[in-house]
Amino acid sequence: MSEPVEDLKTTPLYAKHVAAGGRMVPFGGYNLPVQYPTGIMGEHKWTREHAGLFDVSHMGPSFLTLNNPSGDADADHAAVAALVEPLVCGDIKGLKPGQVRYTLLLNETGGAIDDLMVARSPLFPGSLYIVVNAGTKDNDFDIIAKAAGDKAKLTRADDGALLALQGPEAVAVLDTIVPGVAELGFMTYAPFEWNGTKLIIARSGYTGEDGCEILCEASMAEAMWDALLADERVKPIGLGARDSLRLEAGLPLYGHDLDETVSPTEAGLNFAVAKRRRESADFPGAARILKEFGGELSRVRVGLFVEGAPAREGTEILDASGMVVGKVTSGGFAPSLARAIALGFVPPAHAAPGTQLQVSVRGRMQPAQVTATPFVPHRYFRKAKS
DSSP-derived pairing of the beta strands 316-318 and 324-334: antiparallel
Give me the pLDDT at residue 111, please.
98
Segment 206-228 mean pLDDT: 98
For residue 232, give every residue at least 6 positions away whose Cβ sits within 8 Å of its Cβ, in sequence order, or none. none
Question: Residue 42, class by beta-carbon neighbours within 10 Å (0-12 exposed, 13-18 middle, 19+ buried)?
Answer: middle
Q: If you average pLDDT over every residue of the chain, what do you get?
A: 96
Residue-wise DSSP of 1-46: -PPPPTT-EE-TTHHHHHHTT-EEEEETTEEEEEE-TT-HHHHHHH
Residue 258 confidence (pLDDT) above 80: yes
d(CA 141, CA 304): 35
Strand order in the sheet with 23-27: 9-10, 30-35, 23-27
Residue 276 confidence (pLDDT) above 90: yes
The pLDDT > 90 percentage for the chain reads 97
d(CA 180, CA 92): 26
CATH code for residues 299-371: 2.40.30.110
Residue 362 confidence (pLDDT) above 60: yes
DSSP-derived pairing of the beta strands 112-120 and 9-10: unpaired
Q: Cβ of 44: how many Cβ atoms within 10 Å?
A: 26
Residue 386 confidence (pLDDT) above 70: no
User: Among 4-13, 57-66, 116-125, which stretch is predicted with the lowest mean pLDDT?
Assistant: 4-13
Residue 29 confidence (pLDDT) above 50: yes
Find residue 139's DSSP bridge partners: none
Give me the pLDDT at residue 7, please.
83
- The answer to whether residues 342 and 368 touch, using CB atoms and an 8 Å cutoff, is yes
d(CA 255, CA 330): 10
Its pTM stands at 0.96
d(CA 135, CA 30): 10
Residue 230 confidence (pLDDT) above 90: yes
d(CA 339, CA 367): 13
- The answer to whether residues 317 and 359 touch, using CB atoms and an 8 Å cutoff, is yes
Residue 166 confidence (pLDDT) above 50: yes
Give me the pLDDT at residue 197, please.
95
CATH fold, domain 14-57+159-248, is Gyrase A; domain 2 (3.30.1360)
Give me the pLDDT at residue 382, please.
86
Find residue 254's DSSP bridge partners: 258
SS3 assignment, position 245: helix
- The answer to whether residues 301 and 257 touch, using CB atoms and an 8 Å cutoff, is yes
| Residue 224 identity (one-letter amino acid) | M
Segment 119-124 mean pLDDT: 96
Q: What does the angle CA 258 – CA 259 – CA 265 come to, to the nearest 5 degrees?
A: 55
Segment 278-288 mean pLDDT: 98
**Band (1; pLDDT cuts 50, 70, 90):** very low
Domain map of the chain by residue range? 14-57+159-248, 60-152, 299-371
What b/e readout covers 108-125, taking b as 16+ CB neighbours within 10 angstroms? eebbbbbbbbbbbbeebb
- Quick one: 60-152 is in which CATH superfamily? Aminomethyltransferase beta-barrel domains (3.30.70.1400)
d(CA 160, CA 32): 15
- The answer to whether residues 308 and 279 touch, using CB atoms and an 8 Å cutoff, is no
Whole-number CA gyration radius for the chain? 21
